[in-house]
Amino acid sequence: AGDAAPAAAPGTPVYAVLSLVGDKLDVVVPAKNPDNTPAQNVHEFLPVDNAVFDDAAVGAAAAAVKRLVPAAELARLSANAVLYEKQRALFEEKGDAIVMPEAIRAALRQQGATHMVLITKLSDDVHKGFINAEAGEGKIEGLGFYFDRSQPVYGPDRNIIAYGSIAPFAWLRVAIIDVRTSRVLARQKITNSTPITTASGVAEGTSPWNALSGEQKMNAIDRLVRREVGRAVGELLKVL
């Protein structure tokens, strides 16, 4: 569950980072009832067959730790399918205390970790993060893309030339934990997105999904994860 790390000098803080956000992307399409009221969104989950987004999250968290706690040593905990799928139950918070699997506790002990940075998926309402989303659309979590068919696209003359955007989103939760006491020292929710309007050069009727190449979509999520996780960890460390 953990990557081996050299023993730190006595008194040196050791931050172990675990990210459980990068196993799949959620493609969210708003739906309507026959009377045009909002219905539950349609979700399509796309598996991610490598650790690219968890690597981005861990890298951003580690950089923030080294910036604000220069003396700290860093370690990384490894994710697996069980941790991804059951993360909410396996890392249940009860007040300021957090439950953790014994395998994770053993890995933390092995690495001599004093603190843990835990990055998990947040499940929260769609309408909290998108201007045109409505309360009846339901929830989203983790990483993915949201289609907003109502977002106007403006031409150079500021006239509306099309409608539609694709928004990479990150609905995440970051917690910094005292390993010895299993106490959550600080936590922050991330509900952020970066809407990208359909380019004017895309043919009329083309889905906003096709306005970006596969590589552009991956890069958009990667940038969002690095920015938001780095920002959140930095802000949390400043209040400890």
Count CB neighbours of 134 within 10 A: 15
Q: Is the pLDDT of residue 170 over 70?
A: yes
Residue type, 37: T
pLDDT of residue 194: 85
pTM of the model: 0.88
For residue 202, the model assigns a pLDDT of 46
Residue 44 pLDDT > 80: yes
Helix (H, G, I), strand (E, B) or coil at 132: coil
Mean pLDDT, range 26-50, rounded to an integer: 87
Rounded CA gap, 77 and 105, in Å? 10
159 pLDDT more than 50: yes
Residue 90 has pLDDT above 50, yes or no: yes
With a pLDDT cut of 70, the percent of the chain lying above it is 82
Specify the higher pLDDT residue, 108 or 152.
108
pLDDT-derived band at 165 (thresholds 50, 70, 90) equals confident
227 — pLDDT class (breaks 50, 70, 90): very high
Ranges of beta strands (E only) in 77-199 are 93-94, 97-98, 115-121, 123-125, 139-154, 160-178, 183-193, 196-197
pLDDT greater than 60 at residue 236? yes
Lowest mean pLDDT among 11-15, 154-158, 229-233: 154-158
Asked if pLDDT for residue 200 goes beyond 50, the answer is: no
CB 130 within 8 A of CB 32: no
* Helix, strand or coil, per DSSP, at residue 223: helix
Distance CA 157, CA 182 (A): 57
For the stretch 94-113, pLDDT in tens is 999 999 999 999 999 999 99
Neighbours of 131 (CB within 10 A): 9
The average confidence (pLDDT) of the chain is: 87
Q: Which residues contact 208 (CB under 8 A, 6 or more apart)?
A: 147, 148, 149, 164, 165, 166, 196, 197, 198
157 pLDDT more than 70 = yes
Which pLDDT band holds residue 41 (cuts at 50, 70, 90)?
confident
